[in-house]
Structure 1
Amino acid sequence: MLNDRLLNFVDVDLHDVKDARKRFDKASLVYDQIREKYLSLKKGTRADITTAIEEELHSARSSFEQARFNLVTAISHIEAKKRFEFLEAVSATMDSHLRYFKQGYELLHQMEPYINQVLAYSQQSRERANKEQASLLERMHEYKKQIERDSRSSGNGLNVSPNVDGIQTIGRSSHKMIEAVMQSSTKGKTIRQGYLSKRSSNLRGDWKRRFFVLDSRGMLYYYRKQINRPAGVSQVQRTNNTPEHGSGLLSRLFSSHYHGIHDEKSVARHTVNLLTSTIKVDAEQSDLRFCFRIISPMKIYTLQAESALDQMDWIEKITGVIASLLNAQSPEQCLHSPRSCGHDRSASESSSYTSSVELETSTSEDLTLEKNTGNGQHHHRTNIKPEKPIDLLRRVDGNTICADCGAAEPDWASLNLGALLCIECSGVHRNLGVHISKVRSLTLDVRVWEPSVINLFQSLGNMFVNRVWEETLPSSNNGSSVDNTSTNGSQAAQYLTTTKPKHSDPFSAKEKFIHAKYADKEFVWRHSIDEIHIAQQMWDSVTANDKKGVYNLIVASHANVNLVYGQMASGLLLNLGKALKQEQPTSPPDGSPRFFDCNSHEKVSPRESLSPPSTSSHVDELDDRYEGFSLLHLACRVADVGMVELLLQYGASVNVSDSRGRMPLHHCILKGRHLHAKLLLSRGADTHAIDRDGRSALQYAMDRSTSDEDMLALLEEHFR
């Protein structure tokens, strides 16, 4: 304020005085010259010459007087401004400072109670941390002493002698102690936990180190590590997969748990129902020390401890838990079906499993590449160090700036709109409601950025999103043009009056623009297309995996994402059948019939129609095979996971069934699309649903010997 006034005084007012002075000096010089000329006339000069010079003198004098008055006026104006201009500027500046610091003082004064609370909380946190640190050091010291005592006891030649049944003889006092713990604890208190080596049940019979937990509810479960195996180790295991290598020292040499493993992700797995199990020592494992077996009706688990003391302690604790369970259970409670033994999980396991799956989703280091070849669908797995979502998404066209105001380096996003936003615009989006915009942070909400969401964002980008939402906006940078003669009255008025705000514009301008853009859709070009044609385009776009086309139809034409095959015209049925026929057929391992003709290899455009002679018969065939197919069914079979995410974001029903009673989850399992299946499970897919053949998704997965253990664990968890 002060600088502006002073600069205006120097640049404008003083400049006017200088110009007036120049004009005065020039007029004064001319007047002096003419006056000298007039005074130098002789008495005998002709009258006409004298008259002309007098007129010239009169004109010069008038110009001189006018210039003099102008100069006096300018100087007077400057002198007047000198008295108040500077003082007003200084006073206004001081007043602004006063109000600023006064408001700051009032705000901090209001925050004083909260500041005191934070200080008190930080002090309490410091004291609590010191106590926890001291307790941790004490426990570590006790643990070191215990290790030394165990080492000395182990050095004295402590051996375990099994009885005739292979079960170690254990005192009743230990059983009573374990039973007391189980009866007194209802929250699953840990009785014993630690690392054990577990022998795999495959032909190689390799050993893997797992973390086992035995709690007071009688549940024994372990955490399975998901690791990135070196290529060399995998090759060695493939070349040494004979049965004789599985049980001895050679398989131990090739086991991955003897190498340093980092960045591991754990998933809780239910191991055994101890109520119907028994334990044996060293049975069938005479070549390795410290081994024992847990034998259940469903499976035999061969385990190895790290020392004789650990082996004895595990056997004692497990045997005590089995005895306590048998004493506490009534005959009716002891009867469990084999299916329950194989698939039930406790509440604690469910929570552990859920949290670990979320961790796996947010920090996955395995990138799955699905490639369709002539022989079917193959999955190739390559280990790639994951990039941050913000780095991946900013490489998409237009994502280096905010979609609404153009601010650089946006770090927020709208999940359903597919746009990157700055923090200021994200606040406006949050006020719109989740039915319009679901706002998440690119850096804070790490669990949100699943592969499906990243795939969707990489397929769209701010540049394309703005071409859809700002198609009729004149100042839009989306590169599209609008013919004013074809717009309706309201759109034409909006075209002439509305401009897109900049990053430096007031918050109110951004808020008004965002409401008009997304809530009112004032800049979306509304296509005058009938519903049948929109449905046709939706099917074609999903078939072609055209996420931009589907997005445009949803936003601009209000397309129905829950379209069902059989409810549209016959032309749509023909195109859908031809599109589905282009799928690469896969032959299920159990010999179940294929959905599509495997002898057809022609490449047909999704928009081409069938030839007239076969139209009628093919429509009847499609009606039988694909009746009840939804867009989500189709996407799960022919599109990638980003298309499934797009449909789910805009309300596609995850539990809709086709004419065979099969839901999208069934089709994902049948097609071997495990990434799609995991996405559907995370969005509430019903694993208990059975088709008309009486089979669930879990049964199909088991029949096909699915190797994806994560998906099987998810299916089992949701099936429980």
Structure 2
Amino acid sequence: MTVKLDFEECLKDSPRFRADIELVQSDVSELETRLEKLVKQCQAMLEAGRVYCHTSKSFVSGLRDLGQHCSGDKTMEVKVAQFYTHAPFAQLSFYFQVHMDVRRFKDVRKEFERSSECLEGALVRNAQAPRSKQHEVEEASNALLNARRAFRSEAMDYVLEINVIEAKKKTDILMAMLSLMESQAQLFQHGHQSLSELDEYRRKLNEEHTQFVLNSAREKRDMEQRHAAIKKKDVSYDDSIMDFNADAANGIPMEGYLYKRASNAFKTWSRRWFSIQKNQLVYQKKFKEQPTVVVEDLRLCTVKPSTENERRFCFEVVSPSKCCLLQADSERQQQAWISAVQNSIASAFQEHREDTHSPVRVGGGGGGGGGGDQENKAREALEEVQAIPGNRQCCDCGEPGPDWASINLGITLCISPFLPKVRSLTLDSWEPELIKLMCELGNTVINRIYEARIDEITIKKPHPSSPRGDKESWIRSKYVEKKFIQKLPETGRTALVRRSSGRRNRADAQDRPAQRPPLKPKPGRATLPRLTGLNPSDLLQKNNTHRDSDEEEEDLSGLHPGALLYRSAALQNFPVMADALAHGASVNWVNAAEESSTPLIQAVSANALAACEFLLQNGANVNQADSSGRGPLHHATILGHTGLVCLFLKRGADYNAKDKNQKDPITIAVDTANADIVTLLRIAKMNKEMREMDGAFGQSGDETYHDIFRDFSHMASNNPEKLKRRSADPKT
């Protein structure tokens, strides 16, 4: 007998089980429809048989009359008498038995669906029970146990009924076929010659039917014994149902129901079927739905219990881009899921270590003949990043050979925590602008800012052998809560920096007054005194190559954090920029005294590619315009900074935005006869139009588009002097 459904699968109550149930119910409905159709055909056949019998009797009566006429001929009389046969059509009694089974199937199905609804309600109440009200928790737990016990009992009864009706379909239909054949053989016994070819077929069917009956009886007995044995056990708990199996045949080492909190404003909870497959954490509502990916790569995430929520049995799966809060049905399931995710992370890393030929991906694929040279240069640059002071050890615990980097902080780490914008040094792609940015900071510089007061506190810094939890706690205290940075004092400091010559050049290029008014804080915000953990000499060490000897010095000690970021962006002073952000500077701070300019526009004025990338990685708005309606892309186009135009277009700058003179960047580039910038702007526009024409199935970009922008990115980062070849030639 073919077993349609298994008892263990029904205890899981998985989407796969629900999908199989739907198939069985559809199959039974189709069986009932066909049986009804068969009965109607049988009734029509019986009616036709009655007509045939009536006509045959009339015909035989005529023959009898003829026989009586030939009464003197005994042979003729016998032959005529033998011609008459009375063999009425038999009713197909098998239908009524199967019909009774179908009706019982429906009754059991109703009980199954009722208990399923009760279980769903009990699960919801159990999940909603607050940990602070113990009597509600106990009441909900007891209700859940009773509901689960009743549901699984009904589910096993339902599965048994499904398998029994599946078996009886074969035996009863075959029995009916044999009965019909026997009736037809009796009806047409005088036409045996025409039916003799069915003898062998009937014999085989008889043998097969006998074997089916024996097998079905034996399997039915075994199934009933197993059913009775399982029902004796307490199946109210899930301890034996869900276990991690790394060698699962279907490639899914762990699966089961979890509650997921939505990331919207309502923070609603939804129950979904989660599974770990293909090194990803996914979920789905129904079996036939396409799974939704929660974590793209388990190597980039961590998992831990969550006690900050009112609901019980919660845990977090944290990746560099987001945090997913999940809830299990019990503490045992919570621990099982946490262990499963941790084991999957370990397995994924083990598979990666075994793949010794996995190449480092830097800067995307090579475009044209120079692609290989570009990749070699990029790899050399990445090695240069690792050679920055302090970068060969983890910024937080000192472990040698860190594998991760925070691109908005410019540091290297040994673990991938909950910090934003974390990338792998060996697995992820690295654009040349990011490599250039990473070379400007480093672990030593950032630790001077974020660990400025480490000697004044009692919190112990983790070391390489510290537990992961201690490292994560330190990272949260250091970068999120900022417990160790230098506090803002009551009086300022007297560190001096020079005005950027790039700002003066930008003023001349846009016909602005040579002398700017004094810097003022953003309206509505007080000017705060400043003091960082850096020495005054540190503030200037990276700017010596960008200054003229005749530039005047400016006192930045009393500036508001946003104003400090604004000034240091023009000076390309990355330690001061990082220090300003650490002290709460808004990356989009607006200087109302200088035409609502922003730090990003100041970095553009100095043609500071890495400074622009640093601001963008820390959340700068690439389209924020000044009082003239000009955004960073406008200013880069006016000044002929081709590398910055390429960077802003890659970061989503709007090339259609118009300033107060109703000029967009393309028009400005044409007016200034900058062929390189015109090319970049037009290719970006054409590429977007091509994607929009392709609709939902459009590609991420034309290959030529990627090749050109990749070449300009490498040139701007490694050979910026080559981008000046046309900007000063109006005849080009």
Provide TM-score, normalisation by structure 2. 0.34
Provide TM-score, normalisation by structure 1. 0.35
